[in-house]
Amino acid sequence: MSEMRKTPLLDDLEKGPWPSFVTEMKKAAAKSEMSNDLLGALEQCYKDKKTHWKHGGIVGVRGYGGGVIGRYSDIPEQFPGVAHFHTVRVNQPSAWFYKTDSLREICGIWDKYGSGLTNFHGSTGDMILLGTKTENLETIFAELSSRGWDLGGSGSALRTPSCCVGPARCEWSNIDTLDITYSLTEEFQDEMHRPAFPYKYKFKVSGCAVDCVAAIARADCAIIGTWKGDIKIDQAEVQRYAKNGMDINAEIVNMCPTKCITYNGKELKIENEDCSRCMHCITKMTKALRPGGERGATILIGSHAPFVKGAQLSQVIVPFMKMEPPYTEIKELTRKIWEWWDEYGKNRERIGELIERKGMRDFLEYIGVDPHPAMIKEPRRDPFYFWTTDELK
């Protein structure tokens, strides 16, 4: 083991109350030459105010086209330990629940064959094992997969689906987010490991409109739990909130976007027909208010970050879908969406961008979904629109 890298700039980030990533890197560096050189390389970035990584490549495990991200230092002569420093993405269990024996098993593998550094978790949701050499990849994959762990997605493929804590520990969840996520992941293993799409495709599953996994902003397909019946009210609990200091008119009635709630000091009333199910009142008075009646999900398609021509949020495609195992409807809809994308999508074109380019009508007709006012904020403003010959005399 060579001497610890000197890192005067990074050392400053060990000060202060918040847990320090530099301390974590040093713990790993004490055991791993790779992590020691990572510290040195990062210190160099801090000095130069620029990154020292090169991207892309051909590394992976046999048969798969994703799950490993090739990464190479651009100053390998200075930091040979990170000449190769590839990432392994491991598909996390639904909602990020773990048992400690499994975590220790992964730590053992990673200390032996990798840098000992990880991310819990990456932005998409995978467990990230950060930094290993090309020659260790097959062994790592065998060690992981023989213990029941598989790789996640990368490249132009289905990315690892993820979900909120859902019915495991949340009273607001209208759907079984954990089971849906598991079921979709198992159904589409081939699409995850063998990239065949124009670009990435992400599923995120949230139990309600609070959307704790940011599905609406980050998933090509957002599955967001909702309900169709009336909100159930426990008037005694409403009174308890009032007694404990909640200003029900200011905090609930006046903040309701559809103004469907009234409160006369004794009783809270909701005009359920006018409720848009935004979740504000339910989250603020969780003991008093609960969704009622039929449960299901709204399916929204198309969000992505700003590349290429500006960010998009996902848009409503199916206003309400029942979500019961084996989730055949969402799986069939997904295959139709992919067929259309495969037919018309260009390299690196997300589904949301293609819908914008080809038009909603083309998309909806192909996937077999009828127009519905829930799909729009407002109808078109312009007088320019298509008719098909079938629609004309």
Partner 1 sequence: MSTPQRKTDIGPPHYKQFLPPVIQKNYGQWKYHEELSAGVMVHVSESGDEIYTVRVASPRLISTDFIREISDIADKYCDGYLRFTSRHNVEFLLSDKSKLEPLQKELKDKGFAIGGIGNRVSNLVHTQGWVHCHSAATDASGLVKVLMDEFYDYFTSKELPSRVRLAVACCTNMCGAVHCSDIALVGVHRKPPIPDHERIPNQCEIPSTIGSCPTGAISPDPAKKSLKINDEKCMYCGNCYSVCPALPIADPDNDGVAIVVGGKVGSLRNGPKFSKLVYPWLPNNPPRWPEVVNAVKGILEVYAKNARKHERVGEWVERIGWEKFFKLTGIPFTFQHIDDFTFARETWRTSAAFKW
Partner 2 sequence: MEKEEIKQKIYGLVEKSVGKKKLKSSDIQKTISAEAGIARDEVKDALRELIDEGKLIYTYFGGSFVEIPPKQ
- Does 260 bind partner 1 (CB under 8 A)? Our answer is no
- Does 150 bind partner 2 (CB under 8 A)? Our answer is no
DSSP string, 164-232: -SGGGT-TT--S-HHHHHHHHHHHTHHHHHS--SSS-B-EEEESSTT-TT-HHHH-SEEEEEEE-SPPE
Q: Report the candidate in 37, 40, 21 with the shortest Cα–Cα distance to residue 82.
A: 37
Q: Token pair 């998009």 is at which residue?
A: 312
Among positions 295-354, residues that touch partner 2 (CB under 8 A) are 342, 347-348
Q: Which of 60, 81, 131, 345 binds partner 1 (CB under 8 A)?
A: 131
Quickly count: other Cβ atoms within 10 Å of residue 194's Cβ.
Answer: 14
Q: Which residues contact 318 (CB under 8 A, 6 or more apart)?
A: 298, 299, 333, 369
Among positions 4-63, residues that touch partner 2 (CB under 8 A) are 55-58, 60, 62-63
- Does 139 bind partner 2 (CB under 8 A)? Our answer is no
Among positions 82-101, residues that touch partner 1 (CB under 8 A) are 85, 87, 91-101
Q: Which of 20, 134, 139, 156 binds partner 2 (CB under 8 A)?
A: 156
Angle formed at CA 157 by CA 38 and CA 145, multiple of 5 degrees: 65
Smallest distance from the beta carbon of 314 to partner 2, in angstroms?
A: 22
Compare residues 119 and 272 and give the one whose CB is closer to partner 1.
119
Beta carbons of 303 and 216 less than 8 angstroms apart? yes
Residue 141 contact among partner 1, partner 2, none, beta carbon within 5 to 8 Å by kind: partner 1
Rounded Cα distance between 277 and 166, Å, is 17
- Does 198 bind partner 1 (CB under 8 A)? Our answer is no
Smallest distance from the beta carbon of 179 to partner 1, in angstroms?
A: 8
Q: Token pair 């690196």 is at which residue?
A: 348
**Joined tokens for residue 191:** 């699409």
Q: How many residues bind partner 1 (CB under 8 A)?
A: 127
Compare residues 67 and 225 and give the one whose CB is closer to partner 2.
67
Among positions 52-71, residues that touch partner 2 (CB under 8 A) are 55-58, 60, 62-66, 70
Residue 364: HSE in the Cβ half-sphere, 13 Å Cα cutoff? 14
Among positions 199-218, residues that touch partner 2 (CB under 8 A) are 199
Residues at the contact surface with partner 2, assessed by CB under 8 A: 55-58, 60, 62-66, 70, 154-157, 194-199, 342, 347-348
